[in-house]
Amino acid sequence: MRKNISGNSPWEDIVGYSRAVRIGNIFEIAGTTAVKDGKPYAAGNAYEQTKYILENIKKVLKKEGLALENVIRTRMFVTDISKWEEYGKAHGEFFRDIKPAATMVEVSSLIDKELMIEIEVSAVFD
């Protein structure tokens, strides 16, 4: 069984992707950035962008009947690795006790120069 979950991005049909996909007990959330009302949120603030993204991911999980405890992996793509403590602080506020497998990789840029981080999440249904 495959279930594609659409978001509100105008690029989903252009690029050919879904906000999230469930197959069996596996749930994958696509790369999520800090965009609010079509504009980058908290430009220049790594901590606030990370927190905003994780709040949105938490909402997607909840809508599908999952919680943060169902997350088994996070992938963080960051544009400035020197701010790792800021990204990490926000990530820790959500996952300190859960401790999913996590990756943080520096990339040269994201789709908008004011976006500092993009996060993907893998979760499983019990």
């050919």: which residue's tokens?
16
Query: In 22-101, where does DSSP find H-type helix?
Result: 46-63, 84-95
Has residue 9 been placed in a domain?
no
In the predicted model, what is the mean pLDDT of the chain?
A: 96
Q: Residue 9 in 3-state DSSP?
A: coil
Look at the chain and report how many structural domains it folds into. Answer: 1
Tens of pLDDT, residue by residue over 74-102, are: 999 999 999 999 999 999 999 999 999 99
pLDDT for position 13: 85
CA pair distance 80, 82, nearest whole angstrom: 5
Has residue 36 been placed in a domain?
yes
Has residue 103 been placed in a domain?
yes
Has residue 78 been placed in a domain?
yes
Tens of pLDDT, residue by residue over 20-71, are: 999 999 999 999 999 999 899 999 999 999 999 999 999 999 999 999 999 9
Is 112's pLDDT higher than 90?
Answer: yes
Q: What CATH number is associated with residue 113?
A: 3.30.1330.40
The widest CA-to-CA distance across the chain, in whole angstroms, is 42
Which residue segment(s) compose the domain that 74 sits in? 31-120
The residues near 40 (Cβ < 8 Å, ≥ 6 apart) are 33, 34, 49, 112, 114, 115
Tens of pLDDT, residue by residue over 9-24, are: 777 889 999 999 999 9
